A and B are shown apart, each in its own frame.
Chain A
Amino acid sequence: MSDLKKIKDEFISKLKGKLDLAELNQIKSDLFGKNGLVSSQFKKIGTIDASERKKFASDLNIIKDELQDLINLKINEIEKANINEKLAKEKIDVTLPERSFVKGKIHPVSQTIDEISSIFSEIGFSVEEGPDVENEYNNFTALNTPDNHPARDMHDTFYLDEKKERLLRTHTSPVQIRTMLKDKPPFKIIAPGRTYRSDSDQTHSPMFHQVEGLHIDKNINMGHLKGCLNYFIKEFFEVKKIKMRFRPSHFPFTEPSAEVDIGYEIKDGKIIIGEGDQWLEILGCGMVHPNVLKNVQVDPTKFQGYAFGIGIDRLAMLKYGINDLRAFFDCDYRWLNHFGFDPLDVPTNYRGLSR
């Protein structure tokens, strides 16, 4: 009995002194180690008279807990003090710059193509493609633009051979021909891509982008064409209302043909689409010419529909306030960084086309 009390008193007084972590651990081992003072008392339990054993065990446990708690408390105090001391030393200037990162960007033309595809996807168009190098037939003849047609002069064509049989497509319309030759009607496609004309000045680039649209079915008329384009332009410019004007024009591969203007005004040096009384030509369209349908073995007495062609670069310029077409292809780091889009900004219908 007195043994226990002695141990207790001795160590409590010891623990009251100023101790470091090593000294505490030493005490801990002196008491609770394999042959520690408390541990050896536990071993004695079996030898104690049964009548006193219960009390002895109970007292021993109380002392053990008391001492253990005290030691732990002391250890915690010291550890806490140590951490505080360390923290006080570890202050760093967090305003120093982070590790450097680089941002990649998506070209505005690519972003615009994704926006266009997203809009037409909603109303059931799928995306078709065609080669950049075309033959004369697909680019002109099949599109009701025979050789010696003055309309060919409007396309300054890049040729790849002296016979002028192979060329860089001057528009995306040959994709109409390829699509219709490959499948059977109905057709409902858009075809974005690169197009080429040997024309180069402030407002013309020898390469530019177009998106072709084609919808052929039974009973598709000019009203559907107007509705489709009206829907597209509204969605694309993300406006509720749009002023749109259909103007008669002429393309060999459509009849009747139209050019489409949208209303705009300039406010504070910025172009506002859909308001004002100025007109801006943005696309050409029309009902697919029966001769074209015949050329691709589609019966024009059974099927009819519309086609359109839109300049993608121009749309991008209008929507994003870019005023120089040639800069699109100049790869100036500063321009790409300024007008490019974050790769995570994928245009979708539910998230919206643009932020």
Chain B
Amino acid sequence: MKITFDWLKDHLKTNLKEKDLLEQLTNIGLEVESVEILSSDNQLFKVAKIIKTEKHPNADRLKVCEVNVGEKELKKVVCGATNASEGLITIYAPPGAIIPKTNTKLEIAKIRGVTSYGMLCSESELNLSDESDGITELSKKYEKNIGKSYFSKSKSNLIDLSITPNRPDCLGVKGIARDLAASGFGRLIISKEKKIKLKTKQTLKVKINKEKGQGCSAFGSCLIKNVKNTESPQWLKDKLISVGQKPISAIVDITNYVMLDINRPLHAYDADKIEKGIIVRNSKSGEEFTALDNKIYKLEKGMCVISDKKGVLGLGGIIGGTRSGTEFDTKNILLESAYFDPRSIRNTAKKLNLDTDAKFRFERGIDPLSIETGLKKAALLIQEICGGEVSKIDIQKIESYKTKNINFDVNSFENIVGFKISEKEIQRILTDLGFVIKKEKKFLKLTVPSWRPDISQQIDIIEELVRISGYNKIKTIEPIKDRSKSTLTQTQRLFHFLQRAIASKGYLETITWSFTDQSYNDHFRETNKEVKIVNPISSELGVLRNSIFSNLIMYMSKNLDRGFKDLSIFEIGPVFTGSNPGEQKTIVCGLSAGKKSRLSWIDKERNIDLFDAKRDVVQTLSEAGYNSDHFFIDSKTPNYYHPGKSGRIFLDHSKDKVAAYFGEIHPNILKKIDIKTENLIGFEIFLENLKLSRKTLKDRKLKFAVSDFQKSERDFAFVVNKDVEAQELISVISNVNPNLISNIKVFDVYEGQNIPDNQKSIAISITIQSLEKTLNDKDLEKINNSIIEAVEDKTGAKIRS
């Protein structure tokens, strides 16, 4: 909502300064978004006429215009607008002018070799509207103003307020003045309604159809005959221009003025173009009409339309149609002032993707009792400026406005807000805001003003009172440092632990979007459901991610392109398994590329491999409190991993839920994504699959017991079939005698010479130690034999001699 202090003063008597005004507006919840400081600069923008246009010699889309700016010589201006044509009256900005939209200073510039002296401006460049398609088009009436400044000399800055959706009343200058006055900033001017003699009858019949879902509950109108639509007088033009509106013709300008002044949208029809009266009804499916934005709208069933015998004239409360629009030659007008249901307005506008000033106001709720005031105010101005006779006002209603009452308990204020104001003050504020108060025994009986659709219960009154009294009166009550519940749950603690444990292993934490590119996602989706976003930001961000890998690989690739070769990144966050709330899992996903050691004077160069990732995962899980001796590992992994170079980890042999995957990313995916690196290794840890112990770590710790008896290390080499896994051997050995065997370490795996083709040799070092005594040779021999026997028996291995 754009206002000026000058306009506010039509409704507000005050001696205070603009600086105080800005502060007070914000203090009472009418946030000042920006102040456009008008300097004498805007006097530089001149009404000008294009005399001649030529194609730019070096650019197809540009024109070279010769422009009359009221000086002896024509100015040469390069312009790219398609509507720049000979005879067009527009607005010219000379070199030195500051373009309001971009805040840039114009300079004489060569554009593709042709010198341009200034610029022809679009409405959006001048902040007049959002219209950026082409340069401003002024009516022929401006011909006499060529060379004169387009903007009038205004002393009042343009103040842009951000009005919250609950305050339609403040979409009119008067409403803002009322709030200010209630807060002690000036006094509201109650202007006496000028008497207007209405003799003739409104002869155009208006009917609101009583039907289901009728969006119009009241339709007020009056006929004004024999008007001479003209250009608006300077005061009215200035007023509209001062808040960034473009004057069009007196009738349109007047309706706009009334709307901006008291938030009463009106619509003016050319009465002669209406065929036998107005019918307000629901639209039929497929009905069409051309709206004032020159677009044809095809309507769905049940939209609130203003129509006549011939068809739709306009969409009630949203936009009028071209068929009945007023022109400069319009003789007789019908002025409409109606009440449209916010819900109906919003539905229709949404379906047609239409946004207009009227729609914005009606969907927030217009004062239902302003129908007559608005009509009178506008009719009077039209009569003053355009002449003509105004008919009596006709109001058709299918529903009457019911006043809202609230019983307000004065004590509730302090209870919510924490400070106290006197009942007298309460009454004063509410009265100033337009409430009617009747004092009852235990409460105040309030009648809510008709322009406040947002107020329906006690809390709304409290808000009004604290807003107007000032939020600075709210005390600061220091919080008490007391904790009765632990801050994090066990799962949350695990989340944070894993996050930092992985980062501590050299991974950079990333946060990527929860949605991703469908084509990347498909590589990692497996059999999961694809979750599409109906209205994505772009097609590359069209689905919720089924795996974090899609994003990590994309960004890994970008980093490799930046020239980083060896890199580890990870993310901890959600992946989605369905489109219902809760169908998501938390995953720690890591990805490493390149070499573990590169160009080192000391270490041998080698690629990163899956055992690096496996170490990071196993170490992290073990740091998080899971005993890695119990882990069970096999090679069943999703298809996006290399089938032979990947594994999954279970926390124990029950193989209940997969704790993690690790391995090389499938070479096919690397090829498709065209990512260039020596090796790409990933892992995924599933947070929800990690069992949480009911015991604390402290309780889980066993009694401290170590052996001081001599320990012996024995080495064994077994020859086994290639498909026998090391884990199996280790498992068999550890079960031989868990009391004596403490450490089992694979120190060599060998295939080739001296070993049969389909076999391999695994060398294992075993530490044997007793808690009870020093083992003698005989004891050791015995356990050696049991180890060999068990391994040979259970795995088909042969001890290598």
Contact = CB atoms under 8 A, between A and B. Distances in A.
A278 to B, nearest CB: 13
Contacts of B418: 221-224
Contacts of B29: 247-250
Given A246-B471, A256-B463, A194 B573 contact: yes
Contacts, number: 254
A247 B26 contact: yes
B789 to A, nearest CB: 43
B167 to A, nearest CB: 7
A160 B415 contact: no
B165 A149 contact: yes
Interface in A243-288: 245-250, 255-259, 287
A222 B474 CA distance: 7
A340 B558 CA distance: 19
B257 to A, nearest CB: 24
Contacts of B513: 206-207, 329
Contacts of B363: 150
Interface string A106-121: 1101100010010011
B510 A336 contact: yes
A228 B477 CA distance: 8
Interface in B478-512: 478-489, 492, 496, 499-512
A150 B511 CA distance: 32
B534 A337 contact: no
B346 interface: yes
Nearest to B415: A221
A343 B481 CA distance: 28
Nearest to B342: A148
A17 interface: no
B760 interface: no
Contacts of B480: 123-124
A105 B417 contact: no
B319 interface: no
Given A219-B415, A331-B510, A227 B573 contact: no
Given A160-B579, A343-B503, A132 B574 contact: yes
A331 B579 contact: no
A106 B573 contact: no
B527 interface: no
Contacts of B537: 198, 200, 206
Contact of A159 (B501, B507, B515, B534): B534
Nearest to B555: A331
B433 to A, nearest CB: 14
A213 to B, nearest CB: 11
Contacts of A319: none
A287 B477 CA distance: 15
Nearest to B602: A99
Nearest to A206: B537
Contact of A100 (B474, B544, B597): B597
Nearest to A97: B601
B416 A110 contact: no
Interface string B593-627: 00001001111000000000000000000000000
B60 interface: no
B514 to A, nearest CB: 6
Nearest to A230: B476
A38 B564 CA distance: 74
A124 B483 contact: yes
Contacts of A330: 555
Nearest to A290: B459
Interface stretch (B63-71, B397-405, B580-588): B580-588
Contact of A290 (B346, B457, B576): B457
A125 B508 contact: no
A328 interface: yes
B271 to A, nearest CB: 33
Contacts of B472: 245-246
B503 A105 contact: yes
Contact of B558 (A135, A198, A246, A331): A331
Contact of B496 (A114, A133, A256): A114
Given A99-B602, A106-B503, A123 B481 contact: yes
Contacts of B500: 106, 343-344, 346
Given A166-B579, A194-B574, A227 B509 contact: no
Interface string B404-433: 000000000001111100000000000000
A174 B378 CA distance: 46
A354 interface: no
Interface in A288-347: 289-290, 304, 328-334, 336-337, 340, 343-344, 346
Interface in B436-489: 457, 459-460, 462-463, 466-467, 471-472, 474-489
Contact of B511 (A127, A164, A329, A337): A329
Interface string B615-645: 0000000000000000000000000000000
B619 to A, nearest CB: 13
B58 interface: no
Contacts of B346: 148, 150
B579 A247 contact: no
A249 B531 CA distance: 36
Nearest to B551: A331
Contacts of A206: 513, 515, 537, 541
A148 B416 contact: no
Given A106-B500, A135-B581, A227 B487 contact: no
Nearest to A194: B514
Given A104-B502, A158-B535, A221-B416, A148 B479 contact: no
A10 B352 CA distance: 123
B509 A247 contact: no
Residue among B499, B534, B574 having the largest count of chain A Cβ atoms under 10 Å: B534
B569 interface: yes
A304 B353 CA distance: 40
A142 interface: no
Contacts of A103: 506
B464 to A, nearest CB: 9
B164 interface: yes
A352 interface: no
Contacts of A129: 492
Interface in A146-161: 148-151, 153-154, 158-161
A36 interface: no
Given A228-B479, A289-B459, A222 B510 contact: no
B482 A148 contact: no
Given A106-B500, A134-B581, A256 B417 contact: yes
Nearest to B417: A222
Contacts of A161: 534, 579
A28 interface: no
B565 to A, nearest CB: 11
23 contacts: A96-B602, A106-B500, A122-B481, A123-B479, A126-B488, A133-B584, A135-B581, A148-B342, A159-B534, A160-B533, A188-B485, A219-B415, A221-B418, A221-B477, A222-B474, A223-B476, A228-B479, A231-B479, A246-B474, A249-B164, A256-B459, A304-B416, A332-B562
The 4 closest A-B pairs by CB, nearest first: A248-B29, A223-B418, A250-B164, A102-B506
Given A168-B544, A231-B478, A248-B29, 17 more contacts: A96-B601, A105-B508, A117-B487, A124-B481, A127-B488, A134-B581, A149-B165, A168-B533, A198-B537, A200-B537, A226-B477, A227-B475, A227-B476, A249-B31, A333-B567, A334-B562, A336-B508
Interface of B: 26-29, 31, 164-167, 342-343, 346-347, 363-364, 415-419, 457, 459-460, 462-463, 466-467, 471-472, 474-489, 492, 496, 499-515, 531-537, 541, 544, 555, 558-559, 562, 564, 567-569, 573-574, 576, 579-584, 597, 600-603
Interface of A: 96-97, 99-107, 109-110, 114, 117, 120-127, 129, 131-135, 138, 148-151, 153-154, 158-162, 164, 166, 168, 188, 194, 196, 198, 200, 206-207, 219, 221-224, 226-228, 230-231, 245-250, 255-259, 287, 289-290, 304, 328-334, 336-337, 340, 343-344, 346
